[in-house]
Amino acid sequence: MRVWIVGDNFGFPNGAGATARVHGFVRALRASGAEVRIFCATPTELPGRRVLNIHVRGEHGGAAFEYACDATVLPDSLPLRRWLRVRSARRLRAAARGARRA
């Protein structure tokens, strides 16, 4: 079984409450034999602060993760923030189409 966890307000693999919940889901799903993939739809790190999530893709706790917008740090520019949402939606749609073919 393949499971995707998609969200836009949690950082991964480092974060707060929502991230802890995702970690719990990953542990439970992996224990049941599922292949888990996590998509963060928007950047979660604020510019000018210490960045905890520096990798836009990787693996953590047996689950592949990816920032679908290809960035972990939120841009200062509002138009660029909106563009990242569009990019994220396009990448998620492409990934879903690819998963259906596999």
Mean pLDDT of 13-34: 95
In this predicted structure, the answer to whether residue 94 has a pLDDT above a threshold of 80 is: yes
pLDDT for residue 17: 93
Mean pLDDT of 13-29: 95
Mean pLDDT of 79-90: 95
Three-state SS at 95: helix
In this predicted structure, the answer to whether residue 101 has a pLDDT above a threshold of 90 is: no
Three-state SS at 83: helix
Confidence of residue 27 (pLDDT cuts 50, 70, 90): very high
- Quote the number of domains for the chain: 1
Q: What is the mean pLDDT of the chain?
A: 93
pLDDT for residue 102: 62
| Domain with 61 in it | 2-101
